[in-house]
A and B are shown apart, each in its own frame.
Chain A
Amino acid sequence: MRQIEVSGLSAWFGPKKVLHDASVTTEPGMVTAIIGPSGCGKSTLIRCINRMHEEVRGARVEGKVLFDGIDIYAPEVDPVEIRRRIGMVFQRPNPFPTMSIFDNAVAGLRLGGRLPKAELAERAERTLRAAGLWDEVKDQLGEPGAKLSGGQQQRLCIARALAVEPEVLLMDEPASALDPASTLRIEELVDELKEKYTVMIVTHNMQQAARVSDRTLFMLYGQVVEFGPTSKIFTRPDDRRTEDYVTGRFG
């Protein structure tokens, strides 16, 4: 469980600056929610934190992201290793459609080299348990992952992200494509995960941010407007713009 310290971070897509001098420090064992209207830079911010942003053609980054004190943009740092240690879950469940549940769960592990069968089985069970899916799938591990419900598929993707033993988990609207029951299951899972992982979650659902996070970051037009304890952001935020956004006076 590690600390992420973002300071003076700016990001561009080609000539367009989409993130302006953002700074935020996450605490280990805490869930940080990022809220703000569409296009405010939420996803860009978390994609900069595991060096996914640079994968887009013409995209670039300035500023610092320290991961446990190490600058992840330093020339000697391997972005693939960063992405292993800082995992990511996306908006739409994206299990590998032709792979079984078991193979999906350990897909990332296999990329890292061959492991004995028994160890793979043990790691699959551990990661599926961590994602709260084991009891539901333990008797159908050979079935295709695509056969699961949307909520189960998303938990399978979380299991896949956890299998490689990351220290930080970034979640980009992980429940926005799910029904209410699956959404609540994911939220419960986030609460369990924070004991082992530093979690950052981008969400459009403000009530979800209020329910799952310890700290909330509000962004607007690519800038960090306010960052503080979630209870404070939702009861008496300091900034008028935060107040207007969370109360729905604009959005």
Chain B
Amino acid sequence: MSETRRKFHVELEALEVDIQAMAELAEHAVGRAVEALVANDVAEAEAVIGADDAIDEMYVSVEQRILEALALQTPVASDLRLITAMLHINLHLERIGDMAVNIAKTYRSIRQLPSSRKILEQIQEMSDVVRPMIRTSLEAFGRRNLDLCLRLNEMDDPVDRLNLGMYQEVAALAGDPATLNWGLRMLLIARQLERVGDHAVDIGEQVGFLLTGEFREFTDASHPVHISPDVG
């Protein structure tokens, strides 16, 4: 017997290729936005903001094609799981792109203020953790690998720890209003990076659903492990 829905399956493969390409752009954008901040490079920040249009266009195109496939092809079984997973992953990647833009814009608004090398190092460290998380989640998707999905939660732990550590670092700037003003924006940037990590975990959850047919949240936001910012 021969394959009967070849055109549809070719389209699914094409969507997956586009999602992988979009992931590369989004991950790159996060890296470049943090580089712009650390190197105080406003041109790089502008480039990140400008490059987001390409991610947005891909997002819209992927979403439209998925809606069309849902309407016209009525996918079932693994095709249905793949297409709903891609619908979610697409949105997560678009959000990651937006977060890179937020980081770039936040940096642009405070680039004249005095900064703290230690905080910048911490931001860089967060970026160095969340970018591999995005890569891992998409590698899990591409290789259909559940072990990689399950590793994401562990990878996310240092991000949460670094994000909470930022509060102490910024509080230490209290005696210097100009640097404190800068530091408060760094809290926003750290928060964006922490959210990027969360999106990578969410992508892993979607891949887990694709592979097992059961949706399971890797983290339970309503019952988090309590870590007080004060004791960071």
Interface, chain A (partner B; CB < 8 A): 37, 206-207, 210, 233-237, 242-243, 246-251
Are B4 and A243 in touch, CB under 8 angstroms? no
Indicate if B39 sits at the interface (CB-CB under 8 A). no
Interface 9-mer from B21-29, B70-78, B142-150: B70-78
CA distance A206 to B8 in the complex (A): 16
CA distance A251 to B81 in the complex (A): 21
Indicate if B9 sits at the interface (CB-CB under 8 A). yes
Q: Which residues of A contact B8 (CB under 8 A)?
A: 248
Q: Which residues of B contact A234 (CB under 8 A)?
A: 76-77, 80
CA distance A240 to B180 in the complex (A): 60
B209 (CB) vs chain A CBs: closest residue: A236
Q: Which residues of B contact A235 (CB under 8 A)?
A: 76-77, 80-81, 213
Q: Which residues of B contact A210 (CB under 8 A)?
A: 76
11 inter-chain pairs at a CB distance below 8 angstroms, sorted by A residue, are A210-B76, A234-B80, A235-B76, A236-B78, A236-B213, A243-B78, A246-B76, A247-B5, A247-B79, A248-B8, A250-B2
Q: Find B77's partner among A207, A247, A250, A251 (CB 8 Å cutoff).
A: A247
A238 (CB) vs chain B CBs: closest residue: B213
8 more CB-based (< 8 A) A-B contacts, given A248-B5, A249-B3: A207-B74, A234-B80, A236-B81, A236-B213, A242-B77, A246-B76, A246-B77, A247-B5
Nearest CB of B to A38, in Å: 10
Indicate if B10 sits at the interface (CB-CB under 8 A). no
Q: Which 10 A-B pairs have the closest CB atoms?
A: A236-B213, A248-B5, A250-B1, A251-B4, A234-B76, A248-B4, A247-B79, A246-B76, A246-B77, A243-B77
Interface, chain B (partner A; CB < 8 A): 1-5, 8-9, 74-81, 212-213
B82 (CB) vs chain A CBs: closest residue: A247
Nearest CB of B to A217, in Å: 16
Nearest CB of B to A249, in Å: 5
Q: Which residues of B contact A37 (CB under 8 A)?
A: 1
Given A207-B74, A235-B213, A236-B213, residue A251 in contact with residue B79 (CB < 8 A):
no
Q: Which residues of B contact A248 (CB under 8 A)?
A: 3-5, 8-9
CA distance A197 to B9 in the complex (A): 39
Are B2 and A237 in touch, CB under 8 angstroms? no
Nearest CB of A to B9, in Å: 7
Nearest CB of B to A8, in Å: 27
Are A250 and B4 in touch, CB under 8 angstroms? yes
Q: Find A249's partner among B9, B80, B212, B213 (CB 8 Å cutoff).
A: B9
Q: Which residues of A contact B212 (CB under 8 A)?
A: 236
Nearest CB of B to A163, in Å: 36
CA distance A62 to B13 in the complex (A): 46
Nearest CB of B to A228, in Å: 12
CA distance A41 to B107 in the complex (A): 68
Are A249 and B76 in touch, CB under 8 angstroms? no
Nearest CB of A to B152, in Å: 22
CA distance A237 to B8 in the complex (A): 20
Nearest CB of A to B80, in Å: 6
Nearest CB of A to B11, in Å: 13
Are A206 and B76 in touch, CB under 8 angstroms? yes
A234 (CB) vs chain B CBs: closest residue: B76
Nearest CB of B to A11, in Å: 22
Q: Which residues of A contact B80 (CB under 8 A)?
A: 234-235
Q: Which residues of A contact B76 (CB under 8 A)?
A: 206, 210, 234-235, 246-247
CA distance A187 to B79 in the complex (A): 25
Q: Find B75's partner among A237, A243, A247, A250 (CB 8 Å cutoff).
A: A247
CA distance A207 to B1 in the complex (A): 20
B5 (CB) vs chain A CBs: closest residue: A248
- Of the candidates B8, B76, B80, B212, the one having the most CB atoms from chain A within 10 angstroms of its own CB is B76
CA distance A95 to B55 in the complex (A): 61
Are A237 and B77 in touch, CB under 8 angstroms? yes
Are B5 and A249 in touch, CB under 8 angstroms? yes
Nearest CB of B to A194, in Å: 22
Nearest CB of A to B45, in Å: 44
Nearest CB of A to B209, in Å: 10
